[in-house]
Amino acid sequence: MAQCIRTTVNPPKTPLNSSQTHNPNRLFPSISSLEAKPKSIKYPKISLSVMSSQNQSQQLNPSLDALLNSGRKEEVFATIKGSVHNCLSETNLHLTVPGIESKTRGKVRDIYDSGDYLVLVTTDRQSAFDRILASIPFKGQVLNETSLWWFNRTQHITPNAVVSVPDKNVTIAKKCSVFPVEFVVRGFVTGSTDTSLWTVYKNGVRNYCGNVLPNGLVKNQKLTANILTPTTKAEDHDVPVTPDEIIGRGLMTQADFDEAREKALSLFEYGQCVALEHGLILVDTKYEFGKDSDGSILLIDEVHTPDSSRYWIANSYEERFQNGLEPENVDKEFLRLWFKDNCNPYEDEVLPDAPEELVCELAWRYIFLYETITKSRFEMPLTEEPIHDRISQNVSSALLSLQ
């Protein structure tokens, strides 16, 4: 990578347990910290300096409002609004595509078994709090194309399971033995869900998933080093787990866990560097891995998407943190917060409908994030073609060519 942004931090005096943390990449040391706080508290400082002779300040100067309300937004927002009722909320390829044997419905992806391969269809379903909140126009396409972009650029860190991408919403992948563990990597103390680092920390937890956390951290503060907080993959609710428990329960061998852990932390450091080059902070994310038939560990599912990751605007982070304000985020956090303000998303049997304004805004933010990271224009379908029919035809042709 030709250019990278270096960050320097005044870390908290009490360090994290060094046996449970990972030394950052030499080119990418850590960043720094948020929530309303008394003026007497002294907050960690963060400074950004560009390791390049080229002037990158133009990328870091715009505010979130300026970026999200640009001329490009006006250009695509009408298309988003016109597609609210043409979302891909459900697929049934097992009824229309020859060679598909079964369907598994995930929170966002419909997964089909086609014998030697898996067909992964990324829908427009929006999940949070372990349930479906809404359908977001073009979301499935954005996630699929974002993941493909990252898969292609992280092969120097780890191989992945991608075989082909026959459709905007579809990835055909190798079958592998999937580890029943999600590798969640965090760089900041933040979040609003029950398993988020900030939620457990403010409730008094100081040893989380094997990571010893010091007293005195505040919301949205940068950790002194990125940490891994794995969870078990459960049907209803993911459960935090320590590395020792993963090995003790036989979920992974020590060797497999160590390799996957190293890959996850390296992927996150690389993702942070790429994000900062484009004026963003990659705050946290999750990875999934599986083992190929030859014994190699593969990256699967999705990579650094706004569904699996949290992103903040880098330029405004420090000032907002110092003033007790939430960071400017470019992910689904604002939709999560709307549901927390208007219902109990964990316990209410029926949830309110997400306002159309928020649905459209989230669709735009997903597109904005894709274009900001990839520097590519997101191509939306020009007609309201039946999405399911298009996918069926493309998957049928792709599976035929793989025979």
Do 219 and 34 touch, CB atoms closer than 8 A? yes
Model confidence at 6: pLDDT above 90: no
Of the pLDDT bands very low, low, confident and very high (cuts 50, 70, 90), residue 31 is very low
pLDDT digits (tens, 9 = 90+) for 159-175: 999 999 999 999 999 99
Q: Is 80 exceeded by the pLDDT of residue 232?
A: yes
3-state SS track over the chain: CCCCEEEEECCCCCCCCHHHECCCCCCCCCCCCCCCCCCCCCCCCEEEEECCCCCCHHHHCCCHHHHHCCHHHHHHHHHHHHCCCCCCCCCCHHHCCCCCCEEEECCCEEEEECCCEEEEEECCEEEECCEEEEECCCHHHHHHHHHHHHHHHCCCCCCECEEEEEECCEEEEECCEECCEEEEEEEEECCCCCCCHHHHHHCCCCEECCEECCCCCCCCEEEEEEEECCEECCCCCCEECCHHHHHHCCCCCHHHHHHHHHHHHHHHHHHHHHHHHCCEEEEEEEEEEEECCCCCEEEECCCCCCCCEEEEEHHHHHHHHHCCCCCCECCCHHHHHHHHHHCCCCCCCCCCCCCHHHHHHHHHHHHHHHHHHHCCCCCCCCCCCCHHHHHHHHHHHHHHHHC
Query: How high is the pLDDT of residue 220?
Result: 97
- Whether 42 shows a pLDDT value over 90: the answer reads no
pLDDT higher at 211 or 332 = 211
Question: Each residue of 102-143: pLDDT tens digit?
Answer: 999 999 999 999 999 999 999 999 988 888 999 999 999 999
* CATH class of segment(s) 65-339+354-402: alpha beta
Q: Kindly tell me if the per-residue pLDDT of 20 is higher than 70.
A: no
Q: Report which of 367, 383, 385, 389 is spatially closest to residue 76, judged by C-alpha positions.
A: 367
Average pLDDT over residues 223-236: 89
Read off the pLDDT of each residue in 245-265 and give the average, rounded to a whole number.
Answer: 98
**Distance (Å, whole) CA 303 – CA 282:** 12
pLDDT of residue 67: 65
The answer, yes or no, to whether residue 238 has pLDDT greater than 90, is no
pLDDT over 80 (residue 13) = no
pLDDT at position 403: 85
Q: Are 114 and 99 contacting, i.e. CB atoms less than 8 angstroms apart?
A: yes
Q: What is the pLDDT of residue 313?
A: 93
pLDDT at 131: 87
Residue 86 has pLDDT above 70, yes or no: yes
Phi/psi at 258 (5° precision): -60, -40
CA separation, residue 133 to residues 301, 345, 359, 375 (Å): 21, 9, 10, 29
Domain ranges of the chain: 65-339+354-402
pLDDT over 90 at 37, yes or no:
no
The average pLDDT across 228-242 equals: 86
The mean pLDDT of the chain is 84
pLDDT number for residue 331: 77
Residue 75 has what pLDDT? 85
pLDDT of residue 225: 97
Within 10 A of 265 (CB to CB), how many other CB atoms are there?
Answer: 23
pLDDT tens-digit map of 275-299: 999 999 999 999 999 999 999 999 9
**Positive or negative torsion for Cα 215, 218, 223, 224:** negative
Note the maximum CA span of the chain: 67
Would you say residue 335 has pLDDT above 90? Answer: no
pLDDT for position 385? 72
Nearest-angstrom CA–CA distance, 235 and 306:
22
